[in-house]
Structure 1
């Protein structure tokens, strides 16, 4: 029995430290209050097309990510009324708005499947499982090698290593692909989906992570773009949460995660924010990346992967500064607009800063969810 005392004390101590940093919020700043505001704002927002006029042709990935965050937040917050409204938002997609379901043509479209898979886990309604699992399977099963030769022949060698035909080695993918496949694993308990996500993540770690722990946007774009690295941080965090400790890929992914978190800690501003280009202090403080990094810190502390005394205060500082960017309409400011990749430093500095973009709303809800997890 004596041998168990120290590990138990360590776990209890970690939990106590985490709780001390993630509680006693000033009025109006708690994750529950902020999450509720941002969820209500999302429910009141129609399907949007990347801030362009008119409705989208398909549900966009920023909406998907915000929807997913709202669903997980309301479940943990016990807000049944908002949770029901989020499910009701989906119902037309089984009927009159079925045309808005994205085709499984790329990572940005396919991540949509994570929402019905979450709804299945919360409701048990198999309509959601059927839809979400189909999308997850198509991400690996289509198209044929002959079609790939026409679409993106450069990835053919990667297909032989078990990667998705959606592979393109942009860091954005490491949330889009792994979120979908991890959700499919959570919904079905089929290890195939977890193995897919893990295999993909290890390949991206090997290809894109640099010696300083951060990630180039793509192999031919040697810049540490804030939100791009944010997708990676969030993707690793979510994948690791579902990986058994004996999974063969877990040590590699955890190493990549630890290396990245240590680097992010060094680049965090004194006020808690991170910048549009992480290693360029002259670039502007950017909210979507800050939200994603905060989520990764909070998750790491809660799960015991990160030292609570070190990362707990950093996460709290980031959250309290981040939410000062929320306006009276619960729209967050200083969000980098949707961004392609380009081998041009100035391109990233010149991206528009927008308000209320769902790229920025989503990470707020992920953070609120992470704070509420036990």
Structure 2
């Protein structure tokens, strides 16, 4: 009889906690739907609040129907995390925490995350765990961080030591992968390992710089296949055939973010700063008079090409942060402001009745290989779908707005 009463009591407590949690989530969703977006807000707040209003729970970003551990959510939430440092609105913190707690379980396991796929894209959400663990000290967040670190320890590599982009893309390094893996890797090794892996992080940039840089333009190709076996790969260099602005944006953002963790006296720090200066100088040559960059970076107004939001936002952020940190000359801050003017005047075409903003002309997705096959041709890049307020544009837009204090 006593046992039955105990069981009954425990059931009631559990049910009560479930109801409380459900009420909390419901009230949070309603609160986000009721957000007011004033025209007087800074662009960073306007965009963050627009996204929170359109996607009341963070897992809904990118119109997702179910929660998943994903780099696009992480990119936007990382930008909101940076925004929270400047404007500590509790709604921002709650939005980020809601995403993490939907996916990180009590034992530290991460729902939908499959380590054995060795997909470097899935390292990015790990960046959201550092601050949460630092403030909460809950073991589950540390366990989750350690799982992501384990992936990097086991990630397949090219013979020369570069991380494969994914298990299904053998021997390939993509510019995207530097942003996906290295900022987390740098923060982890500095936070927990006394910086022991900083040389390995620098090596990833060295390999891409060495193999994927075009000597004529100074731009870097989207992908490099060390085996030179992919149909898209140049048989002599292993490089893909075109320059894609978003891929170059990932590379530039990776450099400015990773440099946060490299001490000035580290032997590789100056090398990384040099890479940032090199790519920035090359990109500056291709900035359109509107301040923006084209989808295929070096092809200008060729038929089908268009001024693209994600790459332009990424360059604005990298230039502004690079200048603010002293890695780049001050003129890049002006170029970043010019880019931001282009984004806000050319690509934010309208403001909704509720004050929400929409950033247009963002390429939804692009890659190499796979099924259906993506050949990296000019025609391929300019014909991929576009999406309004695509997270790969909105996240860097918020970061650029913060660096420029706009």
| TM-score class, shorter | 0.7 to 0.9
Alignment of 1:332-343 (within 5 A): 332-341=359-368, 342-343=375-376
Aligned to 1:360: 393
Question: Given the alignment of the two structures, is residue 191 of structure 1 paired with residue 195 of structure 2, yes or no?
Answer: yes
Q: Secondary structure at the match of 1:100?
A: coil
Report the structure, 1 or 2, having the larger helix content. Answer: 1
Aligned to 1:76: 86
1-side partners of 2:87 and 2:393: how far apart? 21
Q: Secondary structure at the match of 2:84?
A: helix
CA shift in 2, pair 1:201/1:125, >3 Å: farther
Structure 1 residue runs without a partner (length 5+): 1-26, 143-147, 149-154
Deviations 1:270-297 (A, max 9, x none): 1211110111112100000011000111
Question: Given the alignment of the two structures, is residue 304 of structure 1 paired with residue 314 of structure 2, yes or no?
Answer: no
Question: Given the alignment of the two structures, is residue 128 of structure 1 paired with residue 141 of structure 2, yes or no?
Answer: yes
Structure 2 residue runs without a partner (length 5+): 1-38, 166-170, 225-232, 234-239, 369-374
1-side partners of 2:134 and 2:397: how far apart? 22
Match of 1:172 among 169, 176, 180: 176
2-side partners of 1:39 and 1:121: how far apart? 26
Deviations 1:286-339 (A, max 9, x none): 00001100011111110112221x222211121122134345343321110111
Q: Between Structure 1 and Structure 2, how many residues are aligned?
A: 330
Alignment of 1:242-321 (within 5 A): 242-282=261-301, 283-308=305-330, 310-321=331-342
Aligned to 1:237: 256
CA shift in 2, pair 1:364/1:118, >3 Å: farther
- The answer to which structure, 1 or 2, has the higher relative contact order (CA under 8 A, 6+ apart) is 1
TM-score (ref. length: structure 1): 0.79
Q: Secondary structure at the match of 1:215?
A: coil
Match of 1:37 among 37, 42, 49: 49
Alignment of 1:142-157 (within 5 A): 155-157=157-159
Aligned to 1:139: 152
Match of 2:223 among 199, 202, 218: 218
Aligned-residue CA RMSD in angstroms? 2.7
* Structure of larger gyration radius: 2
TM-score (ref. length: structure 2): 0.73
